[in-house]
Structure 1
Amino acid sequence: MNYFKKILRFAKPYKSFALLNILFNVLYSIFNVLSIIIFIPTLGILFSTQKKVFDAPIYSGIGNLQGYLEDSLNYLLTQKVTNEGPLAALAFICIASISIFFFKNLFRYAAMYVLAFLRTGMVKDIQDSLYLKTLDLPLEYFSESRKGDLMARMTSDVKEVEGSIINSLESLAREPITIIIVLLSMLVLSAQLTLFVFIFLPIAGFLISIVGKRLKAQSLAAQKETGTFLSFIEETLGSLKIIKGFNAEERLANRFTESTSRFKKIMISVVQRQGLASPFSEFLGVTVVIAVLWYGGSLVLGNESALSPQEFIGYIGLFYTIINPVKAITTVNYSIKKGNASAERIFEVLETINPITDAPDAVQKNTFDHEISLKNISFKYEDEYVLKDFNLTVKKGHTVALVGQSGSGKSTIANLVTRFYDVNKGEILIDGINIKVVTKKSLRNLMGLVTQDSILFNDTVRNNIGLGKENASDEEIMEAAKIANAHDFIMELPNGYNTNIGDSGNKLSGGQKQRLSIARAVLKNPPIMILDEATSALDTESERLVQDALEKMMQNRTSIVIAHRLSTIQNADNIVVLQKGNIVEQGTHEELMKSANGYKKLVELQTLG
Structure 2
Amino acid sequence: MDDNLKKLIPFALKYKPNIIWNVVFNVLYALFSSLGFVMIIPVMNVLFGEEEKVTKLPTYNGIWELKTYLNDTLYYYVNYLTEQKGAAYALYLIISIIIIIFLLKNLFGFLGLQHLMKLKTGVLRDFREKMYAKIVDLPVSYYSEKRKGDVMARILGDVNEVQNSFFAVLELIVKEPLTIIITLGIMFSISWKLTLFVFIFIPISGLIISKIGKSLKSQSARAQQENGYMISVVEETLTGLKVVKGYNAETYFKNLFTASVNRLYILTNKIGKKHNLASPMSEFLGIATIAVLLIYGGTLVLQDGSLSGGAFIGYIGMAYNILTPAKAISKASYQVKNGSAAAERVFEIIETPNVIRDTEKSIAINSFNDKIQLKNITFSYDGEQNVLKNFSLDIPKGKTVALVGQSGSGKSTIANLLMRFYDVENGTITLNGTNIKDIQLFALREQLGLVTQDSIMFNGSIADNVRIGKLNATDEDVIAALKIANAYEFVQHLPDGINTNIGDGGGKLSGGQKQRISIARAVLKNPPIMVLDEATSALDTESERLVQDALEKMMQNRTSVVIAHRLSTIQKADVIVVMNRGEIAEQGTHDELLAKNGTYAKLVSLQSFES
TM-score interval (norm. to shorter): over 0.9
Structure 1, 413-422 or 477-486: larger mean CA deviation:
477-486
Alpha-carbon contact 1:123-1:162 (below 8 Å) kept? yes
Deviation at 1:173, TM superposition (A): 2.6
Measured after TM superposition, the shift of residue 608 of structure 1 is 7.1
Letter in 2 for 1:4: L
Instruction: Say whether 1:472 aligns with 2:473.
Output: yes
Mapped contact 1:119–1:167 kept (Cα < 8 A): no
Contact 2:27 2:174 in 1 (8 A): no
Hey, what's the Cα distance between the residues in 2 that align with 1:64 and 1:241?
A: 82
Q: State the 1:575 CA deviation.
A: 0.4
In the other structure, the counterpart of 1:181 is 182
SS of structure 1 residue aligned to 2:607: helix
Within 1, Cα distance between the matches of 2:365 and 2:176? Answer: 57
CA distances 1:370-405 after superposition (whole Å, capped 9, x unpaired): 100001111011111111111000000000000000
Query: In the alignment, what sits opposite 1:14?
Result: 15
Whether contact under 8 Å (1:115, 1:170) holds in the other structure is no
SS at match of 1:253: helix
Q: Which residue number in structure 2 is paired with residue 255 of structure 1?
A: 256
Equivalent-residue separation in structure 1 for 2:266 and 2:57 (angstroms): 69
Which region of structure 1 is more displaced relative to structure 2, 56-65 or 565-574? 56-65
The AA in structure 1 aligned to 2:20 is L
- Structure 2 counterpart of 1:368, which letter? F
1:216 is matched with 217
Q: Distance in 1 between matches of 2:465 and 2:229?
A: 31
- Tell whether the 8 Å contact from 1:484 to 1:519 is kept in structure 2 after alignment: yes
Matched residues in 2 for 1:254 and 1:9: separation?
A: 44
For residue 289 of structure 2, what is the aligned residue in structure 1? 288
For 2:578, the equivalent position in structure 1 comes to 577
1:101 match: 102
- Structure 2 SS opposite 1:378: strand
Matched residue, 2:328: 328
CA–CA separation in structure 1 for the residues paired with 2:500 and 2:418: 34
Matched, 1:200 2:197: no
Once the 2 structures are TM-superposed, how far is the Cα of residue 171 of structure 1 from its aligned partner?
Answer: 4.1
Residues 386-401 of structure 1 mapped to structure 2, 5 A cutoff: 386-401=387-402
Residues 515 and 549 in structure 1, CA contact (< 8 A), matched pair in contact too = no
- Partner Cα distance (2:534, 2:82) in 1: 97
Say whether residues 1:50 and 2:48 are aligned partners.
Answer: no
List aligned pairs for 1:365-444, cutoff 5 A: 365-382=365-382, 383-444=384-445
State the alpha-carbon separation in 2 of the partners of residues 96 and 127 from structure 1: 46
Q: Which residue of 2 aligns with 1:30?
A: 31
Q: How many residues align?
A: 608
Conservation of the 8 A alpha-carbon contact between 2:201 and 2:286: no
CA distances 1:516-556 after superposition (whole Å, capped 9, x unpaired): 11111111111000000011121111111221221121121
1:168 Cα shift? 4.7
Q: Does 1:362 align with 2:366?
A: no
* Identical counterparts, % of pairs: 53
Moved over 6 A (4+): none
CA contact (8 A) 1:401 1:575 kept: yes
Partner in structure 1 of residue 455 of structure 2: 454
State the alpha-carbon separation in 2 of the partners of residues 459 and 243 from structure 1.
25
Instruction: Give a deviation string over 1:265-316, Cα, whole Å, max 9, x none.
Output: 22221111222112221221111212222222222333263x3221111111
Q: How far apart, CA to CA, are the structure 2 residues paired with 1:3 and 1:124? A: 18
Aligned to 1:351: 351
- Partners of 1:565 and 1:360 lie apart in 2 by 43
CA displacement at 1:25 relative to structure 2: 0.6
1:243–1:514 distance in 2 versus 1, CA, 3 Å: same
- The aligned amino acid for 2:530 is M
For 1:329, the aligned partner's letter is: I
Task: Answer yes or no: is the 8 Å Cα contact 1:570–1:589 preserved in 2.
Answer: yes
Asked whether the 8 Å contact 1:29–1:181 carries over to 2, the reply is: yes
Letter in 1 for 2:13: K
| Letter in structure 1 aligned against 2:24 | L
Whole-angstrom distance in 2 between the partners of 1:470 and 1:328:
50
Look up the equivalent residue of 1:295 and give its one-letter code. Answer: Y
Give the superposition deviation at 1:123. Answer: 1.2
State the secondary structure of the residue aligned to 1:365.
coil
Structure-2 residue corresponding to 1:316: 316
Query: Is residue 79 from structure 1 mapped to residue 77 from structure 2 by the alignment?
Result: no
**Could you list the per-position Cα deviations for residues 85-116 of structure 1 after superposition, in whole angstroms to 9, with x for gaps in the alignment?**
11111111122122111111110100011111
Q: Deviations over 1:475-531 (max 9, x none)?
A: 222222221122232221111121111111111122221111111111111100000
Which one-letter code corresponds to 2:28 in the other structure? L
Secondary structure of 1:122's counterpart equals helix
Comparing 229-238 and 167-176, the one that deviates more:
167-176
Cα distance in 1 between the residues matched to 2:73 and 2:256: 75
SS at match of 2:153: helix
CA distance in 2, matches of 1:92, 1:342: 52
What is the CA–CA distance in structure 1 between the aligned matches of 2:45 and 2:112, rounded to whole Å?
Answer: 34
Shift of 1:355: 1.0
3-state SS, counterpart of residue 302 of structure 1: helix
| Higher mean C-alpha deviation, range 8-17 or range 68-77 | 8-17
Measure the CA separation in 2 of the matches of 1:223 and 1:62. 53
Equivalent position amino acid for 1:221 in 2: R
Q: Is the CA contact 2:44–2:309 (under 8 Å) kept in the aligned structure 1?
A: no
Unaligned runs of 5+ in 2: none
Deviation at 1:203, TM superposition (A): 1.6
- Give the conservation status (yes or no) of the 8 Å contact 2:33–2:102: yes
Q: What is the CA deviation profile of residues 326-361 of structure 1, one whole-angstrom value per residue up to 9, with x for unaligned ones?
A: 121111111110121111111111111111111221
SS in 1 for 2:578: strand
Mean alpha-carbon deviation: is it higher for 159-168 or for 33-42?
A: 159-168
1:166 & 1:523 partners in 2: Cα distance? 47
What is the one-letter code of the residue matched to 1:344? E
Tell me the TM-score normalised to structure 2 length: 0.97
Using the TM superposition, give the Cα deviation of residue 193 of structure 1 relative to its aligned residue in structure 2, in angstroms: 2.2
Q: Is the 8 A contact 1:514 1:546 kept in 2?
A: no
Deviation at 1:423, TM superposition (A): 0.4
Deviations 1:97-140 (A, max 9, x none): 22111111110100011111111111112211111111011111
Cα distance in 1 for residues equivalent to 2:517 and 2:355: 32
| Cα displacement string for residues 127-167 of structure 1 (whole angstroms, at most 9, x for unaligned residues) | 11111111011111111011111111111212322344434
Asked if the contact 1:274/1:334 (under 8 Å) is kept, the reply is yes
Cα displacement string for residues 53-96 of structure 1 (whole angstroms, at most 9, x for unaligned residues): 11111111112111111111111111111111111111111221
Could you report, residue by residue, the CA deviation over 1:223-261 in whole angstroms, capped at 9, with x for unpaired residues?
A: 111111111111111111111221111122122212222
CA contact (8 A) 2:168 2:335 kept: no
| Gapped regions of structure 1 (runs ≥ 5) | none
> In the alignment, residue 201 of structure 2 is paired with which amino acid?
F
| 1:185 shift after superposition | 1.2
Q: Is the 8 A contact 1:201 1:288 kept in 2?
A: no
Deviation for aligned residue 1:606: 0.9
How many Å separate the matches in 2 of 1:90 and 1:251?
A: 75
Partner SS, residue 560 of structure 1: strand
User: CA offset at residue 588 of structure 1?
Assistant: 0.6
- After superposition, the C-alpha distances for 1:161-200 in whole angstroms (9 at most, x for unaligned) are 2344434533443101111111111122122322332123
Say if 1:378 and 1:388, in contact at 8 Å, map to a contact too.
yes
Contact 1:24 1:111 in 2 (8 A): yes
* 8 A contact 2:372–2:431 mirrored in 1: yes
- Which moves more between the two structures, 417-426 or 156-165? 156-165
Give SS of 1:392's match: strand
Q: Secondary structure at the match of 2:225?
A: helix
Structure 1: distance between partners of 2:349 and 2:248: 36
Alignment partners' CA distance in 1, 2:8 and 2:337: 13
Measure how far apart 1:6 and its partner are: 1.8
Give, in whole Å, the separation in 1 of the partners of 2:470 and 2:538. 26
Query: What value does the CA root-mean-square deviation take over the aligned residues?
Result: 1.4
Give the residue type in structure 2 aligned to 1:439.
Q
For residues 238-253 of structure 1, the aligned pairs below 5 Å read 238-253=239-254
Q: Which amino acid is 2:269 matched to?
A: I
- Greater CA deviation, 548-557 or 134-143? 548-557
Deviating more after overlay: 320-329 vs 437-446? 320-329
